[in-house]
Structures are given as C-alpha cells and as structure tokens.
Amino acid sequence: MNSARAARIGLACALLGAIGFSGKAIIIKLAYRHGVDAVTLLMWRMLLALPLFLALAWWAGRDRPALNARDWRDIGLLGFTGYYLASFLDFAGLQYISASLERLILYLNPTLVLLMGVLFLGQRATRAQLLALGLSYAGILIVFGQELHFEGRSTLIGAALVLGSALSYAVYLVHSGQVLQRLGALRLTGLATSVACGLCILQFLLLRPLEAAFVPAPVFWLSLLNATACTFAPVLLVMLGIERIGAARAAQTGMVGPMSTLLMGVVLLGEPLTPTVLIGTALVLAGVAVLARRR
C-alpha cells in the first residue's frame, strides 16, 4: 500500500472513529426516553461490549509476556478511572444536560491534562496554552449559560457530573503513558475496558434487582448499537488511524466529534441550534486546536 493511500485510509478511520464516539450521547439520550436509568443502561452497554473487548485483549496479547502483579494493578486502576467511573458519570450527567453540551465538556480533556500537569507535576503553561485554556472555557461558559437559563438547576447537576467524567478520563490519560508502552495500546484498552465492564455489571447487581434488567426492546437495540458502533468500533478505528497518520493528525480529526454531536442532536433529538451554541462550540474547538498545535 503506498503512503498516500495509507494516509487516506488512516484519515477515514480516524474520522469515522470520532463520529462513532460522538454518537454515544445521542443513543443514550434516545434510550432515556424509554424510562431506563443510568445504572441499567450502562450495564447493558458494557455487558454487550464485554465479549468484544475480551477478544481484543486476547488477540493483542498473543505472543506477549505474561502479566505480573504490577500490570494487573495498573490495569485495574486505569479501568476504574478511564472507563468505569468516567462512563458512569457521563451516563448520569446526560440525564440532565443536552448532548451537545456534554460533548463540549468531554472535549476539554486536553486542557484538563494540561491543568493537572501544571498543578501536580510542576509543569509550566506557555502563553499560547493559557490562550487555549481561555478560549475553551469561555466557549463552555457561553453554552452552559444558555442551557442554565432555559433548564435551570438540572444543568448544574449534569454539567458537574460530566465534568467529573472528563476529570476521571484525564487522570487515565496522565497515568496511562508508561503502561501503554509496556502493554501496547490495544492490549491495555481491551483489558482495562473489560475490567470496567465487570465493574458496571457488578454495580447493577448491587444496586438494582435482577428484574430491572428486563428493559424495553428499543433500549436493548440502542444498547447493542452503543456497544458496537459507538464503543468498540471507534476504539479500533482510531487505533488504525493513529497507526497510519500518527497520533497528532488523528487527534485533530477528533474536532469533528463536537460538530457531529451537535448536528445529530438537532436532527435526532430536536435540540436547539442557536447562535450562542455555535459561538461557544467554535471557541472550544479553537482553544483545543491551539493547544494541539502547541503540543
């Protein structure tokens, strides 16, 4: 395969992966219309995704060294922060806020990683990075302010939960670097996500009666779509994209995520598309783009 064709395929994979990830919020909001709660909905998503991630972990771990106690400890920690806690807080927050605001808050991950580096690792932020932070958080405040005006206190609850999700995933990003080098991206993703699947299923068993697992048929099919097209497939697509075009260019394609969520929210959920939302989204994208270019 020549380099130009590989680059085109890599770009397509990264774009499709970003769009797949962005569809998650839309599917969750559609499922909530059938009266299901966050604990049950998350359980179904993870239960259906578990065989896929176990297969990924097995495939990526062929002919690799056996895992030791340190590896399992790191996998457990990263699975808890990066996939279980982040997913649960995200699902819970989507009960209160729009899909577009949720995606914008999650898109702040690079800025949260930067802030953690400054606060806890002694790193120094450059002037361009401070500009990126200012643009990103100004955009969030604009969209948040509009939603708060129309939806009231529930917006505070939802935004706080989704911000907690973004923080939890930022912790995963900060601490995953060395583990990725030891285990490989696909193997770590398969194992850590399998741990998170088990935790989500255990959470359901502890907090809900078994009969709560009997959900309306649309919820099951939406969960199956979420587990495959918006969870497992995007992981593989983004990894394939990174392999062909590099992490930096693959990350830049992620900018289509908030816009695709915004458009799908308008078409499928009837969420309003106002000048305020467009301005806020543009500021967030500009801030993250500045930060990505500097990095």
Q: What is the pLDDT of residue 204?
A: 97
The pLDDT > 70 percentage for the chain reads 95
Residue 243 has pLDDT above 70, yes or no: no
- The residue-averaged pLDDT of 64-68 equals 89
Rounded Cα–Cα distance for residues 105 and 165 (Å): 9
What is the model's pLDDT at position 70? 92
Handedness of CA 96, 36, 28, 42 (dihedral sign): positive
Select the more confidently predicted residue: 191 or 289.
191
Residue 1 pLDDT exceeds 60: no
pLDDT at 52 over 60: yes
Mean pLDDT, rounded, of the chain: 88
With beta carbons less than 8 A apart as the criterion, state whether 260 and 19 touch.
yes
CB-based contacts of 224, cutoff 8 Å, min separation 6: 48
* Among 180, 176, 188, 229, residue whose Cα is nearest residue 56: 188
For residue 249, pLDDT over 70 is answered with no
Asked if 42 contacts 32 with a C-beta cutoff of 8 angstroms, the reply is no
Residue with tokens 């002037």: 127
Q: What is the pLDDT of residue 193?
A: 93
Q: Which residue has the higher pLDDT, 178 or 70?
A: 70
Q: Is the pLDDT of residue 129 over 60?
A: yes
For 70, 129, 137, the CA distances from 167, given in Å and listed in that order, are: 24, 18, 14
Are 294 and 129 in contact, with CB atoms under 8 Å apart? Answer: yes
pLDDT for position 294: 57
Q: What is the mean pLDDT of residues 111-120?
A: 81
For 162, residues 6+ apart whose C-beta sits below 8 A from its C-beta are: 89, 90, 93, 94, 97, 101, 102, 105, 106
Q: With 0-12 CB in 10 A as exposed, 13-18 as middle and 19+ as buried, what is 177?
A: exposed
For the stretch 164-219, pLDDT in tens is: 999 998 888 888 878 888 888 889 889 999 999 999 999 999 999 999 999 999 99
Mean pLDDT computed over 16-44 = 93
Distances (CA, A) of 214 to 146, 207, 276: 37, 15, 40
pLDDT at residue 212, rounded to an integer: 95
- Please name which of 164, 166, 203, 188 lies closest in space to residue 47, comparing C-alpha atoms: 203
Q: What share of the chain is helix, strand, coil (3-state, %, to 5)?
A: 85, 0, 15
Q: What is the mean pLDDT of residues 119-139?
A: 84
More confident residue, 264 or 254: 264
At 255 the pLDDT is 72
Average pLDDT over residues 1-18: 79
pLDDT surpassing 70 at residue 295: no
Mean pLDDT of 258-281: 88
> Sorting pLDDT into bands at 50, 70 and 90, what band is 291?
confident
Q: Give the C-alpha distances (Å, rounded to integers) separating 157 from 16, 34, 94, 170.
A: 31, 21, 10, 20
**pLDDT of 250 over the 70 cut:** no
Look at the block and give the residue holding tokens 């915004």: 262
Give the residue extent of every domain in the chain: 3-294
Structure tokens belonging to residue 54: 């176990």
Report which of residues 252 and 263 the model is more confident about: 263
- pLDDT confidence tier of residue 253, bands split at 50, 70 and 90: confident
Structure token digits, residue 163: 């911000």
Task: Work out the average pLDDT over 229-251.
Answer: 77
The tens digit of pLDDT for each residue in 75-104 reads 999 999 989 999 999 999 999 999 989 988
Confidence band, pLDDT 50/70/90 cuts, at residue 157: very high
